[in-house]
Amino acid sequence: MSFFINESAKCQFDKKFKTDYYTNITMLRYITSFVVIIFTLLIFGSIVFAKEKTTVVLLPKDEIVDTTYFAAGDTVTLSGTVNGDAYVAGGVVNIEGTVNGDLIAAGGVVNVRGTVAQDVRVAGGQVIITGTIKSNLTVLSGSATIADSASIGGGIVGAGGSMQIFSEVPGDVTVGAGELTIGNVIGGNVLAGVGMLTMSPNANVHGNLTYMSDEPINIQKGATVSGTIKEEAKLQGRKTDLEQKAKTIGTAARGLIYTAKVINIITAFIIGLLIMYLFPKYLEGVTKQISMKPWKTLGLGFLTILLTPLIVLLLFMTVIGAPIGILFVFTYFFYIYLAKIFVSLVIGSKLIGMMTKEKYHSAVILGLGLLIYLIVSSIPILGPFVVMITVFMGVGGLLWAKIDYYRLLHNKKMI
């Protein structure tokens, strides 16, 4: 038996594996970015829905909004015209009017019956599309139906329990779902990672069909694929046992890291509540600095994080300065830890301020901000950048609050 691998075959496999890998990574990044936006809306929506009274939000048919439109409630119905983007969250969301920008919606049930001039990004338990989307559709749902009466101008990216596509789609379709049914013309390529893929008699894929499925594809009589059909279910089987073990270890490590992050956020929330109770004026002062002087706090925080280690090093080089250096180290890391609490409070306050004029308890605002921070800081590449900016602004805000406090004492000749 020969243990030598044909070099040409190996190159072809490596090229193919890399192509599939980067295609799927691109898909996952697209969906992940979308999930972050929608999950933020869902978090906020849950806060709005936590009130005793039922909230019904309606944009009447004859009303025109020339700016970005925000709405949240138990039932939200957009029947008018929005000339900007629309951000909507609710138990039931009905889009019956016209949105001339992007639509971002989340809810238990989301119905898109109207017209959206640009992209639609929607998440919900049940999503039903019967209207007109002139650009691309991105959907995350338990169950999604794109009816034959719908009009899609671009492509579709989706993930969820089940998805049924009965309208014509001129662009590509990329889906990860338990079940996928295609029942009309797809003008581009189809890439699907599904439990079951069904092509009804009216299905016609003009491009290539690439799928990964637990079950054999169900191509009913009359369905056609103009390009090639590629079944990638065995791709994982080509990996070596070592790669599989490395993947398992990596998954476990990522799970532990994320669990640690969640525990860290819960601890930060508790500490934030203690600060609210024990030092409410100080909390107000720091958040005010971050909110009103974002660039100044960012700059001061950057200089502090950069210069403090150098100062500590110089202090430790002297016997007398060593105790002060230890104090600096403790304060340094303490400020870094507190930074996300104050920045998250500002983020939560800004978001709620954008959505409603009603007042909410600071604990609710802090919880919202910390959850958003947890989600965004967990995104590859973007996450470390977000953490860095948060630390700079938080530390800068803490120091600016102290500077203002000492100025106040000095003006009152108390120091």
* pLDDT tens track for 130-179: 999 999 998 877 789 999 999 999 999 887 778 999 999 999 999 888 88
Q: Are 290 and 397 in contact (CB under 8 A)?
A: yes
Taking the C-alpha atoms of residue 87 and residue 70, their distance in angstroms, rounded to an integer, is 5
Taking the C-alpha atoms of residue 236 and residue 80, their distance in angstroms, rounded to an integer, is 49
The tens place of each residue's pLDDT in the chain, 415 residues long, gives 333 344 444 444 444 444 444 444 344 434 433 443 443 343 333 333 333 344 688 899 999 999 888 877 678 899 999 999 988 876 788 999 999 999 988 777 899 999 999 999 887 778 999 999 999 998 877 789 999 999 999 999 887 778 999 999 999 999 888 889 999 999 999 998 888 899 999 999 999 998 888 788 899 999 999 999 888 754 444 445 555 555 555 555 555 666 677 777 788 888 888 888 888 888 888 888 888 888 888 888 888 888 888 888 888 777 677 778 788 888 888 888 888 898 888 888 887 777 766 677 778 888 888 888 877 777 777 778 888 888 888 888 888 888 877 777 777 777 6
Place of tokens 């532990």: 256
The gap from C-alpha 146 to its chain's centroid, in whole angstroms, comes to 23
State the DSSP code for 110: E
Beta-strand pair 204-205/151-152: unpaired
Q: Are 243 and 263 in contact (CB under 8 A)?
A: no
Q: Are 159 and 143 in contact (CB under 8 A)?
A: no
CB within 8 Å of 232: residues ≥ 6 apart: 20, 210, 211, 212
The gap from C-alpha 172 to its chain's centroid, in whole angstroms, comes to 22
Taking the C-alpha atoms of residue 407 and residue 118, their distance in angstroms, rounded to an integer, is 51
